[in-house]
Amino acid sequence: EIVLTQSPATLSLSPGETATLSCRASQSVNIYLAWYQQKPGQAPRLLIYDASNRATGIPARFSGSGSGTDFTLTITSLEPEDFAVYHCQQRTNWPLTFGPGTKVDMK
């Protein structure tokens, strides 16, 4: 099973700043990594798949990069609605696994 670790656990930023979130895999997942945003009381929402492809309707301020074992989600110019928990997930093979999440909260 591929284990995903995310850092930092919490990121405290102000609106307008840039958030840089990291996800590292215990072995190569090629580009088969996705990112999700989850707000309290809501289901997760797909932001990025295949490491860098934005899902339908996702604003351009969200971007993903990386391949192999190291991946980054960047949120430029944070909007108030971007403060949430972000999960990474891989499925280069079964089982599909998720990282523990990074909380982006308001400073």
Partner 1 sequence: QLHLQESGPGLVKPSETLSLTCTVSGDSVGSSGYYWGWIRQPPGRGLEWIGSIYYSGSTYYNPSLKSRVTISMDTSTNQFSLKLGSVTAADTAMYYCAKHWPRFRAVSVGFWGQGTLVTVSS
Span interacting with partner 1, options 8-16, 18-26, 32-40, 62-70, rule CB under 8 A: 32-40
Per CB under 8 A, 105 contacts partner 1: no
Per CB under 8 A, 13 contacts partner 1: no
Query: Whose CA is closest to 67, among 84, 45, 52?
Result: 52
Per CB under 8 A, 34 contacts partner 1: yes
CB of residue 40 to partner 1, shortest distance in Å:
11
Residue 13's Cβ-count burial label (10 Å; 0-12, 13-18, 19+) is middle
Dmax over CA atoms of the chain, in Å, equals: 38
DSSP 4-43: EEEE-SEEEE-TTS-EEEEEEESS--TT-EEEEEE-TTS-
Taking CB under 8 A as the criterion, the residue among 66, 78, 99, 104 binding partner 1 is 99
Q: Which residues bind partner 1 (CB under 8 A)?
A: 1, 32, 34, 36, 43-46, 49-50, 55, 87, 89, 91-92, 94-101
